């Protein structure tokens, strides 16, 4: 036995060392896996502790008994951050009310269940359709602002879990989606509003039944005037809503109408419609320092920067009548429902001058064809439709197509971030009154713009494009997108 061991001593030692090393590695892997699985548990325990500190026993019950009035409780995946270098705490902090899901996520599930046209997954930006360098094209519903802002705020480093240190309070109620849910269910919207006010009064002392002690904000995914109707009456409750600053896609342009509904003098933050195109948040967050140093920026991927734009003038719109100027423009353009590649392969140069691409509403395969048409167009016409500001306006910006608006000289339509952006530098406006009267020809106006001016408009468009979209996915640190611009507006109001 001793002779056998001496002969094979080196082999035995090698096997012994190998076994020891394997055991050591397995132990480390086991510990790492244990730590990985324990992180969410610790995070949830921290949330429970914070809820008990803020709301006592009520907060604990609210977490343990989440209401399930509409559908199941599958949530959008939370954003997890494992960066060793966390961003510095910002000066402006927002407390997000932890509402029961019947006021937000259950409502979005109700609408998705009732109509497959609505997609609110992936942080409200919808499933991905195509990914290119620096850009994600997604099936984003134009009125998903309430969901997108909620998800962005939940991830943002501007969020605080301590209401006492908050500069502002955000109410993540999906008001517009609640009105849509009403069409697919027996939801009593007015009762839901009253339950919301009761919750806010009981949760913290800052709402104070509408007499807010600190600035409060809430998003509206649809136009301001749509929340004055009997089926969607949120803004009829003047006592509770007058002190809330709403973040919405369009403010009612008629001061007379606003005065009638006691909204005159009430400030709104106008936010961009969520569009199909979303820059990668890694790229837009890297722009923060470039903007601070006043460096020129262009985050458009090659499929936008380098694509030949052989369509001079495009109108992407459905066949419904809409505004008179919209009908007038359609009659003077070549109509098609074909994809760009199919149409361009057969069309003459004349047919490429002015194209009306007929976009059927809620069509499953229409999103990418719209983007492709816009990527190949120089000017994208944006006449008023159901609203004065169209979602197509933002889709055209994200496609590098110069938006052509039709604003009256007496117009009170407010576009996003007008205080800091000069729209004349990246859009063309043709007064709608002159078009309707026949005094102005749209084609002649656009043909009169020099190639040098077109290139200048396109350069400026690339500069401002990040501020008209919501970068994907949400990140914790500073970013350069529409959400960051909204936060700046909130900060100014809160001051």
d(CA 240, CA 193): 10
Neighbours of 409 (CB within 10 A): 9
Per the domain annotation, does 240 fall within a domain?
yes
Q: Token pair of 357, please?
A: 């691409």
- The verdict on whether omega for the bond into residue 293 sits within 30 degrees of 0, i.e. cis, is no
Answer whether the bond into residue 473 is a cis peptide, omega within 30°.
yes
SS3 5: helix
CATH, residue 460: 3.40.50.2000
Query: Do 236 and 370 share a domain, yes or no?
Result: no
In this structure, the answer to whether residues 190 and 326 fall within a common structural domain is: no
Predicted pLDDT of residue 43: 32
**Is the same domain home to 227 and 346?**
no
Could you tell me if 240 and 347 lie in one domain? Answer: no
Distance set, CA 429 to CA 355, 392, 405, 458 (Å): 19, 15, 5, 15
Q: What residues contact 319, with CB distance under 8 A and at least 6 apart?
A: 358, 360
For residue 229, give the 3-state DSSP assignment: strand
In 207-311, which ranges are continuous DSSP H helix?
Answer: 238-241, 255-260, 281-292, 302-305
Residues 268, 157: one domain? Answer: yes
Model pTM score:
0.82
Backbone phi, then psi, for 226, in 5-degree steps?
A: -75, -10
Domain count of the fold of the chain: 2
Beta partners for 403? 380
Task: Note whether 268 and 146 are same-domain residues.
Answer: yes
Return d(Cα 442, Cα 454) in angstroms, integer: 16
- Are both 261 and 406 inside the same structural domain? no
**Residues 338 and 439 placed together within one structural domain of the fold:** yes
Asked if 329 and 239 sit in the same domain, the reply is no
6 in a domain, yes or no? no
Burial class of 484 by CB neighbour count within 10 A (0 to 12, 13 to 18, 19+) = buried
The range of the structural domain enclosing residue 245 comes to 92-275+490-494
Q: Is 238 inside a domain boundary?
A: yes
Residue 2 is assigned to a structural domain of this protein: no
CA angle 480, 484, 490 (to 5 degrees): 160
Strand partners, 277: 137
Q: What's the CA gap between 483 and 107, in Å, rounded?
A: 22
Q: Which residue's structure tokens are 């109707």?
A: 229
pLDDT digits (tens, 9 = 90+) for 373-388: 999 999 999 999 888 8
* Regions in the chain scoring below 50 on pLDDT: 1-10, 12-15, 17, 19, 21-69, 71-84
CA distance 283 to 479: 9
Residue 287, domain member (yes or no): no
- Does 253 lie in the same domain as 356? no
In this structure, is the dihedral angle defined by the CA atoms of residues 236, 240, 241 and 243, taken in order, positive or negative?
A: positive
In-domain check, residue 294: no
CA 122 to chain CA centroid, nearest Å: 11
Residue 232 CA to residue 49 CA, distance in Å, equals 37
Distance CA 344, CA 358 (A): 15
Claim to verify: residue 263 and residue 348 sit in the same structural domain: no
Is 375 part of a structural domain of the chain? yes
Q: d(Cα 220, Cα 437) in Å, to the nearest integer?
A: 35
Query: Does 332 lie in the same domain as 263?
Result: no
Which two three-digit tokens encode residue 456?
């200048």
**Are the C-beta atoms of 96 and 167 separated by less than 8 Å?**
no
Whether 69 maps to a domain, the answer reads no
- Name the residue among 174, 287, 271 with its Cα closest to residue 486: 271
Ranges assigned E (strand) in 133-204: 135-138, 159-160, 168-170
């Amino acid at each position: 036995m001793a002779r056998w061991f001496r002969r094979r001593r080196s082999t035995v030692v090698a096997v012994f060392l190998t076994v020891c090393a394997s055991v050591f590695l397995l132990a480390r892997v086991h510990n790492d896996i244990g730590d990985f699985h324990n992180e969410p548990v610790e995070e949830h325990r921290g949330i429970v502790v914070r809820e008990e500190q803020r709301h006592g026993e009520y907060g604990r019950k609210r977490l343990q008994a989440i209401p399930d009035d509409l559908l199941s409780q599958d949530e959008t995946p939370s954003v997890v951050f494992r960066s060793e270098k966390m961003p510095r705490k910002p000066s402006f902090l927002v407390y997000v009310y932890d509402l029961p899901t019947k006021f937000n996520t259950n409502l979005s599930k109700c609408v998705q269940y009732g109509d497959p046209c609505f997609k609110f997954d992936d942080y409200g930006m919808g499933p991905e359709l195509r990914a290119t360098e620096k850009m994600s094209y997604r099936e984003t519903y134009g009125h998903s602002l309430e969901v997108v802002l909620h998800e962005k705020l939940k991830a943002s480093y501007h969020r605080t879990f301590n209401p006492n240190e908050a500069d502002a309070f955000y109410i993540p109620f999906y008001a517009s989606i609640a009105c849509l849910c009403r069409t697919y269910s027996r939801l009593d919207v007015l009762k839901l509003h009253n339950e919301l006010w009761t919750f806010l009064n009981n949760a913290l002392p800052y709402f104070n039944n509408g007499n807010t002690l600190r600035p409060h904000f809430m998003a509206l995914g649809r136009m301001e005037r749509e929340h004055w109707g009997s089926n969607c009456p949120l803004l009829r409750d003047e006592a509770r809503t007058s002190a809330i600053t709403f973040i919405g896609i369009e403010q009612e342009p008629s001061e007379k109408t606003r005065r009638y509904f006691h909204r005159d003098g009430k400030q709104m933050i106008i936010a961009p419609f969520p569009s199909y195109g979303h820059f990668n948040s890694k790229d837009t967050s890297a722009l923060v320092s470039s903007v601070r140093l006043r460096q020129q920026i262009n985050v458009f991927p090659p499929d936008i920067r380098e694509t030949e734009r052989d369509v001079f003038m495009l109108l992407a719109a459905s066949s419904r009548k809409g505004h008179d100027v919209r009908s007038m423009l359609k009659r003077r353009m070549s109509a098609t429902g074909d994809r760009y590649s199919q149409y361009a392969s057969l069309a003459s140069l004349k047919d490429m001058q002015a194209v009306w691409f007929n976009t059927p509403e809620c069509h499953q395969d229409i999103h990418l064809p719209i983007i492709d048409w816009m990527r190949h167009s120089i000017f994208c016409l944006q006449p008023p439709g159901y609203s004065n500001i169209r979602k197509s306006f933002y889709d055209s910006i994200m496609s590098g197509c110069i938006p052509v608006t039709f604003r009256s000289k007496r117009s009170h339509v407010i576009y996003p971030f007008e205080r800091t952006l000069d729209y004349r530098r990246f859009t063309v406006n043709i007064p709608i009154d002159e078009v309707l009267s026949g005094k102005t020809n749209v084609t002649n106006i656009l043909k009169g713009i020099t190639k040098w001016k077109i290139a200048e408009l396109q350069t400026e468009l690339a500069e401002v494009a990040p501020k008209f979209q919501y970068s994907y996915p949400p990140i914790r640190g500073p970013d350069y997108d529409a959400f960051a611009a909204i936060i700046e507006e909130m900060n100014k109001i809160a001051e």
